[in-house]
Structure formats: C-alpha cells, structure tokens
C-alpha cells in the first residue's frame, strides 16, 4: 500500500487511563454480580485478549477489596471469523470452539466490540446446545449505530461513534493490536 494512503491510528479516542478506570469499575460490578459463584470468562479471540487480561485481574482486585466475596474464575476461548459483503449479512464461522467445560456453567462472553451484532448472535446459537446456566455479555466497546441484529449486552465499557477504531486488541489488517489505548483509524 502506498505510504500516502496507509491508514494510521492518529487520534486517541479513549486514553489508557480512561480504559483502565472503566475496566476497574466493570470488575467491581462483575465481582458483585457473581459473588460466591463460579464464572467462566469466555474470550472471543483475538480482539478481546487485552481487555480479557485486564478485566480478569480487575475482578480479582475487586474481591480483595471486599473480604468474603469470592468469584471462582475459569478461562475459556473461542475464535470466530466473519466474511463481510456490503449487501448481505456477514457469514460468521467458528475457527476454534471452547472446551466441554462450558456445559451448564455461568458464562460471561468477553468481546472487544459489538458492531452489527452478528458475531454475538452466532455465538449465542453455538452455546445454546451446551445448556449454560446463564449467558451474559461484557463488551469493551459498543457501536450501536451499525446494529443489524438485536442483541442484549449486560456490561458495556464505552459506546463509540460510527468509525473504525483500533488499539487495545482491535486491529486494522492485524496491526495496532498492542496500542494501550483506543484510536480512530485515519487515512493520511
Ligand atoms: P459484529 O458485531 O459486526 O462484529 O459481528 C464483528 C467483529 O468485527 C470486528 N470489528 C472491528 N474491529 N475496529 C476493529 O478493529 C472496528 O471498528 C470494528 N468493528 C467491528 C470485531 O472483531 C468484532 O468482534
Ligand atoms: Mg471480536
């Protein structure tokens, strides 16, 4: 790609300190909601990895602040891919499924961003034969302007405008995942 058109993440949309503050709040809320229960955090690879890592530690820290409150956390991961075409709904495919451990558990899906809602809709269908006790969703970012499928989201970090965002796990052509903040992708 010529340097003149290469998109680069220029403007910070959500700073590192804002991200971390909100993730601590989400951790406190989740630790309270699942007090004394076992909870499977189900990360959707690859975009959720940084959020997953920080949120899981925030849940642990919240427990330390309230002695007697314990949430037993398990880690599970799925990997999905979607093929987009401007007129048709996306085709979502499972590349890697979770383990049998997901059966009849409390599951909290950890997503980087909910955009059209098609990925989440697919994941619900995938999980339903496992008869989970509960399935809830925690997404770092919500882009409601692009929704095609109605989905329920239980925990939202931030709502974002209708723009392509990168960083903190989210990529453009596999780049920028390791930015510690969320940035808008701009063409230069
Ligand atoms: P939906 O809800 O449309 O989301 O099924 C599918 C996946 O698309 C990715 N996505 C983005 N990735 N910047 C990104 O880097 C974005 O603005 C963006 N919007 C959607 C993301 O992996 C999501 O899980
Ligand atoms: Mg994703």
Q: What is the pLDDT of residues 39-87, one digit of tens each?
A: 999 999 999 999 999 999 999 999 988 888 899 999 999 999 887 766 6
Are 171 and 182 within 8 A, CB to CB? no
Look at residue 5 in the predicted model and tell me its pLDDT. Answer: 60
- 25: its two tokens: 């709040």
Helix, strand or coil, per DSSP, at residue 123 = helix
- Pocket test residue of 78, 93, 112, 172 for ligand 1, highest count of atoms within 8 A of CB: 112
Look at residue 85 in the predicted model and tell me its pLDDT. Answer: 64
Is the minimum distance from the CB of 13 to ligand 1 under 6 angstroms? no
Q: What is the residue extent of each domain of the chain?
A: 21-164
Atom of ligand 1 nearest to the CA of 166: 15
- Say what percent of the chain tops pLDDT 90: 74
Give residue-wise pLDDT tens across range 112-146.
999 999 999 999 999 999 999 999 999 999 999 98
Sequence-separated (6 or more) residues with CB below 8 Å from residue 173? none
Look at residue 107 in the predicted model and tell me its pLDDT. Answer: 97
- 160: its two tokens: 């974002």
| Region for 187 from its dihedrals, namely left if φ exceeds 0, alpha if ψ lies in -120 to 50, beta otherwise | beta
For the segment(s) 21-164, the CATH number from 3.40.50.300, 3.40.50.2000, 3.40.50.2020, 1.10.20.10 is: 3.40.50.2020
Distance separating alpha carbons of residues 178 and 188, to the nearest angstrom: 21
For 49, how many CA atoms within 13 A lie in the half-sphere containing its CB? 12
Atom of ligand 1 nearest to the CA of 116: 3
- Does 115 qualify as catalytic in the annotation? yes
CA–CA distance from 84 to each of 35, 37, 101, 111, 119 (Å)? 39, 38, 31, 19, 12
Residue 2 has pLDDT above 60, yes or no: no
């Amino acid at each position: 790609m010529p340097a003149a058109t290469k998109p680069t993440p220029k403007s910070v949309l959500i700073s590192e300190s804002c991200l971390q503050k909100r993730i601590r709040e989400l951790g406190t809320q989740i630790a309270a909601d699942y007090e004394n229960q076992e909870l499977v955090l189900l990360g959707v690879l690859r975009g959720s990895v940084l959020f997953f890592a920080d949120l899981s530690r925030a849940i642990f820290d919240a427990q330390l602040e309230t002695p007697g409150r314990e949430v037993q956390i398990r880690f599970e991961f799925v990997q999905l891919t979607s093929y987009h075409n401007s007129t048709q709904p996306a085709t979502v495919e499972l590349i890697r499924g979770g383990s049998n451990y997901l059966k009849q558990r409390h599951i909290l899906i950890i997503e980087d961003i909910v955009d059209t809602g098609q990925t989440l809709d697919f994941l619900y269908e995938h999980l339903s034969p496992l008869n989970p006790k509960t399935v809830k969703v925690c997404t770092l970012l919500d882009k409601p302007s692009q929704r095609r499928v109605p989905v329920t989201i239980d925990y939202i970090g931030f709502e974002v405008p209708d723009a392509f965002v990168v960083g903190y796990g989210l990529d453009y052509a596999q780049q920028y995942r390791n930015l510690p903040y969320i940035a808008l992708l701009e063409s230069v």
